[in-house]
Amino acid sequence: MKHYSIALIPGDGIGVDVIREGKKVLDTICELDGGFSLTYETFDWSCEYYAKHGKMMPDNGLELLKGFDSIYLGAVGYPGVPDHVSLWGLLLPIRRSFQQYINIRPVKLLRGIKSPLANRDASDLDFIVIRENNEGEYSNMGGRIYEGTNLDMAIQNSVFTRTGVERVLRYAFKLAQEKGKRKRLTAATKSNGINHTMPFWDEYVHKIHQEFPEIETNIVHIDALCAFFVSKPDVFDVVVASNLFGDILTDLGAAIVGGMGIAPSANINPEKNFPSMFEPVHGSAPDIAGKGIANPIAAIWCASMMLEHFGEEKAAAAIMEAMQDVLEEGRVVTPDLGGRATTEEVGSSICDTLKKKLG
Ligand code: NAI
Ligand code: MG
């Protein structure tokens, strides 16, 4: 029997609640499937940990995570700890050290969810954004001088490397080739305003396109691309973007398919030399933390993506179906989707549906 080890990092705020439900669903499908086993170890790294220890994770944190098959993370960040401290103290070191250079963010309208875009259904809203995850605009290059004086200034540099750009583009083209319904790739740019790194990015889009001549390829300015996500989302298949553009674009992507409570993401090390990390797009939501009403769908979708990454396609698909059955029935949904159910009730309802279908 195949076995997978999972490091759980629930993190802060609603991260804790949604990971609990995600684990519950994983345990249920694992038992029903019978073809694989899962073990977990929980790490309490968070802003609370920071308050006690002055760091987001122990010095050997990455060493501790290295041996796991994957990492399942809720969210980190909470008022009291500056966001750049929580992010650079945990999430970004994991993404970088483990070469999780691909961030997969599906923009797909699930059964049972109504898009805020008028007259759009699931056939119009079904594409994947690939975000570059290790360099670009989030590169920790720069500095600040003359703080507290009239000369106060800050510089933040973007880093685009041939290796970094080629590998994310190649991954995106390959995805369009293997899984794309429309065999189409859209690359986000801003080569008119950002005149060094973006023409560089565009040049490599053309270059890698030559390896995939059958893929229809468009390079679109990020501002126009945002508008097209709203006005003609049906034209997209695979969208590839730099770190910053992909980050911003995918919150919009989440909004057009039902909001932050639903959007999943996977940080992938395609070579599988290191664990990949699965986490909802949303943060710790301090405004609803502790109320038990966070939507666990994003986290549960991430659990499905994790199983898919392991190669457990059948189990992954079963989670997606059960989740959509519950959404379509509409009885047990959280307030962000207009319902009154709790986080825990949604998780349990998905588990019950799985048992009914497969038990
Ligand atoms: P957020 O995603 O936590 O919340 C934005 C809005 O969406 C809030 O109104 C929240 O209530 C709602 N929301 C988010 N997830 C939801 C869910 N599952 N169910 C129902 N409603 C949900 O983003 P925000 O407020 O910008 O950030 C809060 C904290 O989270 C910050 O410290 C930030 O740095 C951190 N953060 C962490 C991330 C991560 O760990 N990957 C990602 C984004 C933010
Ligand atoms: Mg974001």
Q: Is the separation of the CB atoms in 172 and 217 below 8 Å?
A: no
Cα 282 to ligand 1 centroid, rounded to whole Å: 4
CA of 31 from ligand 2 middle (Å) equals 34
Backbone torsions φ then ψ of 317, nearest 5 degrees? -65, -35
Is the four-CA dihedral 126, 106, 166, 68 of positive or negative sign? negative
298 lines ligand 1 (CB under 6 A): yes
Ligand 1 centroid distance, CA of 258 (Å): 15
pLDDT for position 249? 96
pLDDT values of the chain reduced to their tens digit, one per residue, 359 residues: 999 999 999 999 999 999 999 999 999 999 999 999 999 999 999 999 999 999 999 999 999 999 999 999 999 999 999 999 999 999 999 999 999 999 999 999 999 999 999 999 999 999 999 999 999 999 989 999 999 999 999 999 999 999 999 999 999 999 999 999 999 999 999 999 999 999 999 999 999 999 999 999 999 999 999 999 999 999 999 999 999 999 999 999 999 999 999 999 999 999 999 999 999 999 999 999 999 999 999 999 999 999 999 999 999 999 999 999 999 999 999 999 999 999 999 999 999 999 999 98
95 CB less than 6 Å from ligand 1? no
Alpha carbon distance 303, 264 (integer Å): 9
Tell me how far the alpha carbon of residue 310 lies from the centroid of ligand 1, in angstroms.
27
Q: Is 283 in the pocket of ligand 1 (CB under 6 A)?
A: yes
Report the CATH fold assignment for 1-100+261-359.
Isopropylmalate Dehydrogenase (3.40.718)
- From 9, 92, 282, the mutation candidate for ligand 1 (largest count of ligand atoms within 8 A of CB) is 282
Q: Which fold has domain 115-257?
A: Isopropylmalate Dehydrogenase (3.40.718)
Give the nearest ligand 1 atom to 11 CA. 40
Is the CB of residue 293 below 6 angstroms from any atom belonging to ligand 1? no
Q: Is 244 exposed, middle or buried (0-12, 13-18, 19+ CB in 10 A)?
A: middle
> Given the CA of residue 335, which atom of ligand 1 is nearest to it?
20
Ligand 1 centroid to Cα of residue 50, in Å, is 19
Task: Please report the pLDDT score of residue 136 as a whole number.
Answer: 97
Predicted local distance difference test score (pLDDT) of residue 359: 85
Closest among 63, 55, 67 to 5, alpha carbons compared: 67
Task: At 15, list the tokens.
Answer: 């991260």
Give the Cβ contact number of residue 305 at 10 Å: 21
Residues of the chain with CATH 3.40.718.10: 1-100+261-359, 115-257
